[in-house]
Amino acid sequence: MLISRRELIARELAEGTGATIAVGFLDGGLRRGLRIWFDDLDDKHGPVAELRPYGLKSHQVQLAFGPFSARVLATIRAAEAEDIQLARSLVRSVARIAEVAVTGQHLTDWTVADARFGISATFRHHTINPDTDEAVIMTCREVLVPLMAAMAELIGYDVVEDATEADHPAVEGALSRATVNRRERNPRNRLLCLRIHGLKCRICGTDPKVVYGSAGGIIEVHHLEPVAMLHEPRPYDPEVDLVPLCPNCHRAVHTRRPWPYSPEELMLMMGIHHG
Ligand SMILES: [Zn+2]
Ligand SMILES: [Zn+2]
């Protein structure tokens, strides 16, 4: 079962960003680098990221806005605090493994003010030759996808909502179920959660990719709602409040409503002890 590199890259970009991304190869093909942009905005009306070989062992990724991006920049300037926070977290997750710079700004509090905004990231390959398809695909996964996901979050690409969510009324005095569901289904939250916490279920330790092979991309994202938060509400933090759960454990924690069991409570019920 062979799928082309381009399809693989496009699929990872779509899954991670929740948007349709166009992929173009730079002159000379995949190994010379690639260029990606949001399909509906084209490469002049929105952010464009380019990946190129850099030195002997690295790739450099540069993200910049096209010449006619005024409209999308206005949309981004109106992004909500939570979206901005998630976008910054995604960029920070790249900075853990690559050298990342936001032009003229700090990594912790950058904003997109105008078309001069740019991000550059240098990703060094330690074990594989950067001049291979595999290396390009790895840089794509580790750098391009999260950077474009950050932009997708700021632009506000729609997260598909499940119609049944409307049936559950908001929980009084706490976060509404719809808000939690939106966070759990947002592909950018999922991407961030998996990049930070890995692909194993926080409760039973299962890695669905190991159990189900290529059909195992089914790990889900759960939003922790500790009871303490009800008494002492604090701002949402995607890096702390989201954990990966396998579909079974996720289903199990949500058998209690409105507040799901905590991972610790379920582990106790399952007889799992902290190692
Ligand atoms: Zn599990
Ligand atoms: Zn959940």
**3 state DSSP class of 101:** strand
pLDDT per residue over 233-245, tens digit each?
Answer: 678 899 999 999 9
Q: Is the pLDDT of residue 80 over 90?
A: yes
pLDDT per residue over 166-201, tens digit each?
Answer: 444 444 446 677 888 889 999 999 999 999 999 999
Work out the number of other CB atoms within 10 angstroms of the CB of residue 264: 13
Q: Is the pLDDT of residue 1 over 70?
A: no
How remote is the CA of residue 11 from the centroid of ligand 2, in Å? 25
- In 19-164, where do the E strands start and end? 21-25, 34-38, 47-54, 58-65, 99-102, 118-124
**Ligand nearest to the CA of residue 203, numbered in listed order:** 1
**Ligand nearest to the CA of residue 246, numbered in listed order:** 1
How remote is the CA of residue 250 from the centroid of ligand 2, in Å? 6
Query: Degrees (nearest 5) of the Cα angle 167, 246, 216?
Result: 110
Q: Is the pLDDT of residue 230 over 80?
A: no
